[in-house]
Amino acid sequence: MVSIEQNDDNRVDDHVDEEIINCLDLERPKSFFLFAGAGSGKTKSLVTALNKIRENNYEQLRLKGQRVAVITYTNAACEEIGRRLDHDPLFSVSTIHSFVWELIKGFDKDIKEWLYSNLKKQITDLEEEQGKGRPTSKAYADRQKSIEVKNKRIINLENIKRFTYNPNGLNQDKESLNHSEVINIGAYFLKNKSLLQKILISKFPILLVDESQDTNKDLIDALFEVEQRNRGVFSLGLFGDTMQRIYSDGKVDLGNNLPESWKKPVKKMNHRCPPRIIKLINKIRSVVDEQEQRARTDKEEGFAHFFIFPLSADRITAEKLVTERMAEITGDQKWLDANAAYTSLTLEHHMAATRLGFSELFKPLYKTDRLRTGLLEGSLPELNFFTEIVLPIIDAIKIGDKFAIARIARKHSPLLRINRDEKEQLLQIKNAEEAINQLSLLWSENKDPLCIDVIKCVAELNLFDIPDSLYPFAYQPLMQSETVDDETSDDQDKENDVLDSWGECLKAPFSQIKAYASYINGTSKFMTHQGVKGLEFPRVMVIIDDSSAGGFLFSYEKLFGAKEKTKTDVENELAGRDSTIHRTRRLFYVTCSRATESLAIVAYSEKPEAVKKHVIEEGWFEENEVEVLL
């Protein structure tokens, strides 16, 4: 058992903020590396440092037209940090993709040259592979197609005057760069073009990167190079935690061999979690490095329990049982509150979709490349048609909120488009009312219409404008997917896939729209293991279910000793490379460290008893904290 040294001084790490602020002295800027465990207050230190810069250097920076750059991992994190800084324009808070694009955009000639040689290289590599491959195999045909697409793109390069990119978009135009191109171009330019380095440091004498363990390794290397060449006039500050590296393109040995001049402040406290959970995460971490955290002295002991079910268990029943057990164990009745009083973490989105009951809507769109990002971001106009127009008006009808009905209809209905004639206006209102009544009949007697019926009804009544891609479904009988003949182009294939997906999705009952909306806007209790990075919640349920997850990157069954390591795992471990178990351990660390009060792990396993034995032997849980349930 790990003994947790009680700390009688909860401010023991306060000196770290001072060390960082000293580094950010504009006369003598220094670089620093603040890597510390979960909940140690890294984000808090980042915001404190930025506020201090504003206090000390506002005028100086403003007069020189300079700003402080902060790079975070997600749009949500940008929003949160921006909010904490009152959205002050002194700070440029952005994701890595937006930041890099702002730096490289406009360098069209250089981008064109980079793309040309990059595409050429990719084609050469593919051709080499073709030389070794079997011409009858699918891989061969795929590679051939890829070569053709790349050649087409090279030819098209000549016509491009200005490249475009949207960090949150699909970037499908001919002029568009994709996400990884932007990062690779940024890294290359920063390393090789002194002009871009000059622009960077003269615009941003201070650059702070949050969650830098997951920042693309080439870009991190490029930033190190910029720092090295501009030492004394530029400050690069990296915040992060190697134990929380959960994406594959982060720099593995980040922090090793840092230059002498870099400051490396150390934090010992975990301000977020209670002692029991800190003991668990210290133990999970103990085989990776020596970092052991202390709890705040003012925290209650807290709870960490492990529940194991066989694979055959019904997920909904099992998880309900766990909430009941947690309420009994902790005495905290909020575990029984269905309204998101606890947070459930699933490994993949579709597991949340199953539990929230919107799988039929979700699955067809998720499997379609062109739709996936928009689906997860909640930015697909077709779904927003349902979530932002139809759902609110139906909800308003159900509770008799006439103002809301009128507001939505005025904003969105073509039946109420501006008309100066008073008589006409009255007629318009009457027509719109009738149409709304007609639509609401679909839900009469507690019916749950299919989305396809809703869209057809809306189209027939001309109540709202139908999004373009749903036209074929709104105005025609449901189309069968057509067989694609060999002559269709790549783009046409993709269009057909998209159309098929919408066709499938619209067969879902309308109630799934509400469940989807609650997941996307964060009001449901579900999040993913990876999406929860940086956040915290009082009660956390970590759902572990390899059998329902599609990928090969993580295996909790291996981490929990229910499955043997493969030959590759053993080879990777022997060679000091990252392995499935290492990756899974880090993800487990991230999820367990989100709870501020109580933590329930729910594992579905092929071998429940083996898992129980393992987690007790590892010292993660005491015998009385582990339950095998049926």
Ligand X SMILES: Nc1ncnc2c1ncn2[C@@H]1O[C@H](COP(=O)(O)OP(=O)(O)OP(=O)(O)O)[C@@H](O)[C@H]1O
Which residues contact ligand X (rule: CB under 6 A)?
38-44, 241, 244, 271-272, 534, 536, 593
As measured in angstroms, the least distance from the Cβ of 14 to ligand X is 7
Under 8 Å between Cβ of 107 and 165: no
Q: Report the C-alpha gap between 309 and 605 in whole angstroms.
A: 6
As measured in angstroms, the least distance from the Cβ of 291 to ligand X is 12
As measured in angstroms, the least distance from the Cβ of 328 to ligand X is 27
Tell whether residue 240 is among the known ligand binding residues: no
Under 8 Å between Cβ of 626 and 306: yes
As measured in angstroms, the least distance from the Cβ of 269 to ligand X is 7
What is the CB neighbour count within 10 angstroms for residue 47? 17
Pick between residue 38 and residue 236 the one whose CB is nearest to ligand X: 38
Pick between residue 80 and residue 627 the one whose CB is nearest to ligand X: 80
Q: Report the C-alpha gap between 534 and 541 in whole angstroms.
A: 16
Pick between residue 375 and residue 540 the one whose CB is nearest to ligand X: 540
Tell whether residue 41 is among the known ligand binding residues: yes
Tell whether residue 40 is among the known ligand binding residues: yes
As measured in angstroms, the least distance from the Cβ of 304 to ligand X is 16
Q: Report the C-alpha gap between 354 and 87 in whole angstroms.
A: 38
Pick between residue 280 and residue 515 the one whose CB is nearest to ligand X: 280
Tell whether residue 65 is among the known ligand binding residues: no
Return the residue matching tokens 């007629």: 427
CA atoms within 13 A on the CB side of 354: 14
Under DSSP, the state recorded for 484 is P
Pick between residue 44 and residue 64 the one whose CB is nearest to ligand X: 44
Tell whether residue 37 is among the known ligand binding residues: yes
Tell whether residue 133 is among the known ligand binding residues: no
- Tell me the residue number closest to ligand X, measured at CB: 41
Stated as kind and residue range, the H or E segment containing 110 is helix 108-132
For residue 82, which of 101, 69, 100, 96 has the smallest C-alpha distance? 69
For residue 496, which of 350, 374, 370, 358 has the smallest C-alpha distance? 370
As measured in angstroms, the least distance from the Cβ of 214 to ligand X is 11
Tell whether residue 39 is among the known ligand binding residues: yes
The tokens describing 619, both together, are: 């010292």
Q: Report the C-alpha gap between 313 and 548 in whole angstroms.
A: 12
Pick between residue 230 and residue 293 the one whose CB is nearest to ligand X: 293
As measured in angstroms, the least distance from the Cβ of 337 to ligand X is 22
The tokens describing 422, both together, are: 């008073």
Amino acid at 28: R
Under DSSP, the state recorded for 281 is H
Pick between residue 330 and residue 593 the one whose CB is nearest to ligand X: 593
Tell whether residue 447 is among the known ligand binding residues: no
For residue 3, with 0-12 CB atoms within 10 Å meaning exposed, 13-18 middle and 19 or more buried, which class applies?
exposed
Q: Residues annotated as binding site?
A: 36-43
Name the binding residues for ATP.
36-43
